[in-house]
Structure 1
Amino acid sequence: MEDPHSVSSPRRTHSLSKKRRVTVSSLDADEKAPGFGVSGEHGPKPSEVYGFVGSITTVVATVIFLAWAYVPEAWLHYIGIFYYPSRYWALAGPVYVMMTIVLALGFYVGLNFMSTPYPSSLNTMFDEFSREPSSFFTSMDGDDRPIEPISDIGINKINDLMFNNVN
């Protein structure tokens, strides 16, 4: 029977019980502790299978493409391969795909520039949910009014305040 205060772990662990007795436990590689990576399912996960099949397919497709693009026609005829696409497409196909990707990215950036307002537009600061600062103060009077938002004060207003306070 195992001590209820010991730790169950696949690593070598030290466990201190209330009796101050040190127990050292170690699990073998073939002993599986429940709850540590052991599931009711057996076999590989589907994502692992798809990844493996995808990587093998990619390697095979690359080898076939390179053989088609670089092996001389006489060797292909000797092997018994007489029908294959024109060698023009060995270069033109990847170039078309790369240019399509570049143009799609450029088109996407252009659409974003077209749908964004100009930097000087007030639509970059205000939308249908923003309100005018003066609408906050209409219902309040006297000491209940909050401090007004920071804004530019004209030079004439500063002069009036300075000279009116001195007198």
Structure 2
Amino acid sequence: MEDHYSVSSPRRILSFSKRRRATVYFQDPNDKAAGFGVSGEHGLKTSEVYGFVGSITTIVATVIFLVWAYVPEPCLHSIGVFYYPNRYWALAIPTYAMVTVVLALAFYLGLNFLSTPPPTSLSTIFDEFSREPAESVPLTEGDDQPIEPISDISIDKINILMFKNVK
């Protein structure tokens, strides 16, 4: 026999079962023992409100822009809209915005190139945080090997490791 829907309590237990039994438990917001307070104690976060308002504003502004850019003038006059900016700006504003973004990225890239030292500079290899490896004292057979202090690997060791088999 199939058990259709059984609801014990809308707040505590909601059980749906057809052939297998699955149970979903909901916490009671008035239950202080569970560690959760009353829902009135936790309000909306300001970031949530700003995000919601920002998303709604973006959607409304996009719809207004598309109506202004694509709806013919007689349709706008029929709904009572007589004053609006020239349609030239429907293309000019997005174009100016895209050119501004591209120029800002190019300017940022250029500033990075100007502030980077040339490849032949020793400052690309050594700086104030470079550490030479400390001289290790050879230990006898029975002693444990200590962990070597953190240091940079010198460029000649790197070259030997990478290019020793290249002829």
Using the TM superposition, give the Cα deviation of residue 90 of structure 1 relative to its aligned residue in structure 2, in angstroms. Answer: 0.4
Q: Normalized against structure 1, the TM-score is what? A: 0.55
The number of residue pairs the alignment matches comes to: 116
- Alpha-carbon spacing, 1:107–1:31, altered in 2? closer, same or farther (3 Å): closer
Using the TM superposition, give the Cα deviation of residue 42 of structure 1 relative to its aligned residue in structure 2, in angstroms. Answer: 5.0
Match of 1:20 in 2: none
RMSD: 3.4
* TM-superposition CA deviations, 1:19-62 (whole Å, max 9, x none): xxxxxxx9654354432365662543322222221121111111
Q: Which runs of 4+ in 1 moved over 6 A?
A: none
Q: Normalized against structure 2, the TM-score is what? A: 0.55
Match of 2:93 in 1: 93
Match of 2:145 in 1: none
> Is 1:63–2:57 an aligned residue pair?
no
- Alpha-carbon spacing, 1:66–1:31, altered in 2? closer, same or farther (3 Å): closer
- Alpha-carbon spacing, 1:131–1:98, altered in 2? closer, same or farther (3 Å): same
* TM-superposition CA deviations, 1:70-103 (whole Å, max 9, x none): 0111111222212111111101101110111111
| Structure 1 residues without counterparts, runs of 5 or longer | 1-10, 13-25, 138-148, 153-167
Using the TM superposition, give the Cα deviation of residue 69 of structure 1 relative to its aligned residue in structure 2, in angstroms. Answer: 0.1
Letter in 1 for 2:116: T
Match of 2:51 in 1: 51
What is the DSSP-based 3-state SS (H/G/I as helix, E as strand, rest coil) of the residue aligned with 1:44?
Answer: coil
Match of 2:80 in 1: 80
Higher strand share: 2
Report the Cα distance in structure 2 between the residues aligned to 1:98 and 1:67, rounded to whole angstroms: 21
Instruction: Please tell me whether Structure 1 or Structure 2 has the larger radius of gyration of its CA atoms.
Output: 1
Match of 1:108 in 2: 108
- Alpha-carbon spacing, 1:48–1:37, altered in 2? closer, same or farther (3 Å): farther
Name the % identity.
70
Letter in 1 for 2:85: P
Report the Cα distance in structure 1 between the residues aligned to 2:63 and 2:116, rounded to whole angstroms: 46
| Structure 2 residues without counterparts, runs of 5 or longer | 1-11, 14-23, 136-153, 158-167
Contact 2:29/2:36 (CA < 8 Å) preserved in 1?
A: no
